[in-house]
Structure 1
Amino acid sequence: MKIIETFLKDLLIIEPTIFKDQRGYFFESYSKIKFKDSGIEIDFVQDNQSFSRYGTLRGLHYQNPPFAQTKLVRVLEGEIIDVVVDLRKKSLTYGKVFTILLSEENKKQLLVPQGFAHGFSVISETASVMYKCDQFYNKESEGGIKFNDPSLHIDWRIDLKDAIISEKDQSLPFIESCNSLF
């Protein structure tokens, strides 16, 4: 397993070691021991999975403390543009955006720590996304940032006028007005 740091402190790309042969492939998608040996100690308590079609945009979501979530995101089928925004007000990278292509082919994962908003767009015909969380979902602590906040300049790699977006996500505030407690 290879752990790659990004320019956003604590946001990590996880590249598994993949074993291939004539049968197909095998890899450990998560190993608590290997994470711990790398200095990452997280107690995941919930797995979530979504299925979406091309043009779906989900996010940008977060949960405030004390229910803030660290997420380990991966794609089981298809391709997504995964997007995170640093919401930690004391961070030197507050308001900065990181994007990465996650796919069934590259098998990369993104470890999104507490204090970040998270979302993704589906750029393949369909996509199945799975992520582990270290806190349970809590409706009262949820928050979000509008996907098209002009200050963030996010390239979702889909045509936003045709995007499939929930009413809830369309009504989220821009980052300057969000209720982040980080």
Structure 2
Amino acid sequence: MKFIKTEIPDVVLCKPTIFNDERGYFFESFKKNEFENFIGYSVNFCQDNEAKSTKGVLRGLHYQLPPFAQAKLVRVIKGSVLDVVVDIRKNAPTYGKHIAIEISEENKYQLFIPKGFAHGYVGLTDEVIFTYKVDNYYNKETERGIIYNDNFLGIDWKLTKKELIISTKDKAQPLFKNADVFENYKTH
């Protein structure tokens, strides 16, 4: 596994070493000791989640506030998504910045999203199966979001507005400037 810091250094792109032969392929999708050695701290994933979507389904931008903040390790089993991460740590030099990375069943990339970030993704293929590990359980009272089309963030979701399928809940999220953010919060 190769670990690469993104433009927001605490967000890490994980590129697996894939072994292909006439039978198919094999790769290690997670190896705790190597992962934690790279990021420099321990992450105790406690739950795996899976979501099925279609092209244009946009989920996000979501996060939970402390003490129920979640770190995530996301990947795509089928199809392709544009995965977007927004830094909501008010004390960070990258506060308000975002990254967007295509993750697919072909490239088998994973993205590690520490606590202190909003996360969302949009399906780019007719069928998407998206899975992710979290290090804290869901807590409805601390769940928050940011509107996907905030001009300040300027996220290019790679699809037209007509192609997007967005839940009523996600359409009602606040602008970044009005969202609850992480005050003086570290990622670990």
User: 1:55 touches 1:158 (CA, 8 Å); kept in 2?
Assistant: yes
Q: CA deviation at 1:32?
A: 1.1
User: 1:73 touches 1:130 (CA, 8 Å); kept in 2?
Assistant: yes
SS in 1 for 2:76: strand
Q: Hey, what does 1:81 align to over in structure 2?
A: 82
Question: For residues 97-155 of structure 1, what are the alpha-carbon distances to aligned partners after superposition, in whole Å with 9 as ceiling and x for unaligned?
Answer: 10000000000000000000000001111100000000001000110100000111111
Paired AA for residue 61 in structure 1: H
Does residue 154 in structure 1 map to residue 155 in structure 2?
yes
CA distance in 2, matches of 1:75, 1:177: 31
Q: Hey, what does 1:2 align to over in structure 2?
A: 2
CA distance in 2, matches of 1:180, 1:90: 10
Does residue 133 in structure 1 map to residue 134 in structure 2?
yes
Paired AA for residue 138 in structure 1: N
Query: Where in structure 2 are the equivalents of 1:61-100 lying within 5 Å?
Result: 61-100=62-101
Does residue 46 in structure 1 map to residue 47 in structure 2?
yes
Q: CA deviation at 1:7?
A: 1.6
Unaligned runs of 5+ in 1: none
Q: CA deviation at 1:40?
A: 4.5
Q: Hey, what does 1:36 align to over in structure 2?
A: 36
Aligned-CA RMSD value:
1.0
Q: CA deviation at 1:45?
A: 0.3
- Segment drifting more, 152-161 vs 169-178: 152-161
Q: Hey, what does 2:17 align to over in structure 1?
A: 17
CA distance in 2, matches of 1:181, 1:10: 15
User: 1:143 touches 1:180 (CA, 8 Å); kept in 2?
Assistant: no
CA distance in 1, matches of 2:61, 2:174: 10
CA distance in 2, matches of 1:181, 1:14: 25
Identity of aligned residues (%): 51
Q: Hey, what does 1:56 align to over in structure 2?
A: 57
CA distance in 1, matches of 2:41, 2:2: 13
Paired AA for residue 101 in structure 1: E
Unaligned runs of 5+ in 2: 184-188
User: 1:68 touches 1:114 (CA, 8 Å); kept in 2?
Assistant: yes
Number of residue-to-residue matches in the alignment: 182
